[in-house]
Structure 1
């Protein structure tokens, strides 16, 4: 009888503890985080299920809250009236401003080390890669739960063409990202008290046109041109495409959810951009690395009051985003 009594007591205590946990959880406030399939580092975990009772209501306002949506839904203008979307775009603008402010500081500081050390550009490229890895990872962690943690038009354009973010979201994100970047550029200039010329050779946004022609920084090699003129450089396009390929694979592919999930994905995305920035920064004299973030160069070049060949930072990234979108259209993530 004693054994039976002890077992009954243990079961009763277990039941009471379960009830207390249930009551505690039921009275806890809900976390304010909206579902968004294009959340970088989320591996599409934070989406709304079609079986959810509020699915139709949520998707009517934000189609990219679902894992799949049509192009017609993507271009729906109703999302522009969504106040929450404007708040998320504001976070993208603020985050981009802070990110580029910090990136601008260490870019200006590392610039002269390319000629002041025995190993030349390897020094700023290595330190810049480490700084980019830490910076991007931390900002994805910080902004991911609210806006998706893009802070980069390249990421936003890529999610749009891969049908992971709607046109209204993509447009607002890019507008706020660019606004934040310009503010950051002038804040760096004001903080350092330097002249515009200081910003004209910032790594990742600078091309020495006496060594590298603008066409070589953008053009994609073709068999015809290769046979006639040899290898052509596609530094911005290919570096951005490599970054997007890795970022999508580790940070947006739901098949990786069980492998490492949202906790590790931002670190892997940060490592990817660190690797791409280092590889492109030491490849050729006259080219201080790929931008892989046109907003960053927009802000710093605005502070420099000089936009020579800035179109490369946009056209190269746009090409990479479109190539990535075509790839995910040809090899879709989900079965029909």
Structure 2
């Protein structure tokens, strides 16, 4: 009789875990779906930066009392958080069936560590995401160059009064929340167990982005997405965002790695299962 070490598990396994992705898969280069996924990541990240950076600049303009704005004008921090979370919800919903809807190098990195995507796919996704972010910010600058430069182009940097360690911790924890949510929302075991709950995976992912922005906009402007920070820094090209830029790569990648480890080896008991499999091969 089969045993399941997970508490509350079904007697029979009613879900299917896909096999680990190969580290390098040359066969991907022969498939149109591979290139279609890269294009989808590029376009999704472009649209993400276009809408969200426009929202940030619009709020800065409408609330700037030195330039005929109102102190409570614009959408506010709450509106900015909704813009980021809402766009992630929309874009993940649109692209999940094509590319997986990563739209974030940290998410791609976390899924790569969990063997959900190959190295080749992960690298090309990240390149497409960064290029898409640059193009999205460049579109905003081309439409509103004066406002774009005046209000910092939506670029991420450490806010005055916060230490580098605080900013790094904010990015690590914020990205952990996001990538942990991605793993949980797309877990085949959870989908089988909670199939009676009609919740789309993009919804909790978008909501996680929204909540993290509420918490960390005052600290770092909220990166948790290296492509978003990179695209804005490249197009604005000023010293302050570049000086702090390493925080918005190191923090998200550490947070993503911790989330991947936590979900795969703690929640899904990957380490226990691997040890059990190892021990079973030693018995005679």
TM-score range for the pair, normalised by the shorter chain length: 0.7 to 0.9
Number of equivalences: 248
**Secondary structure of 1:194's aligned partner:** helix
Q: 2:187 aligns to what? A: 253
Is the 1:129–1:277 Cα contact (8 Å) retained in structure 2? yes
Mark the runs of 5 or more structure 2 residues left unpaired by the alignment: 1-15, 278-284
Deviation at 1:146, TM superposition (A): 1.1
Distance 1:279 1:188 in 2: 26
TM-score for the superposition, normalised by structure 1? 0.66
The structure-2 alpha-carbon separation of the partners of 1:113 and 1:236, relative to structure 1 and needing over 3 Å to count, comes to farther
Equivalent in the alignment of 2:49: 100
Please tell me whether residue 189 in structure 1 is matched to residue 124 in structure 2. Answer: no
Partner of 2:172: 237
- The equivalences for 1:50-69 within 5 A come to 67-69=18-20
**Greater helix proportion:** 2
Deviation at 1:67, TM superposition (A): 0.9
Structure 1 residues 114 and 308, CA gap change in structure 2 (3 angstroms):
farther
Query: C-alpha separation between the residues in 2 aligned to 1:142 and 1:262?
Result: 18
Counterpart residue number, 2:225: 293
Over 3 Å counting, the alpha-carbon distance change for 1:315 and 1:80 in structure 2 is: farther
TM superposition outliers: structure 1 runs of 4+ over 6 Å: 117-120
Matched, 1:213 2:163: yes
Select the residue among 219, 232, 235 that pairs with 1:303.
Answer: 235
Tell me by how many angstroms 1:299 deviates.
1.2
Aligned Cα RMSD in Å?
A: 2.9
| In structure 2, C-alpha distance between the alignment counterparts of 1:95 and 1:196, rounded to whole Å | 21
Deviation by residue 1:85-138 (Cα, 9 ceiling, x = unmatched) = 122111111111111111110011123567767689xx6321112222221111
Give the direction of change, closer, same or farther, for the CA distance of 1:264–1:74 in structure 2 (3 Å limit): same
Which sections of structure 1, spanning at least 5 residues, go unmatched? 1-48, 50-65, 219-233
* Larger Rg computed on CA atoms: 1
Does the residue aligned with 2:154 lie in a helix, a strand or coil?
coil
Q: What is the aligned counterpart of 1:266 among 202, 217, 223?
A: 202
Measure the CA separation in 1 of the matches of 2:30 and 2:177. 35
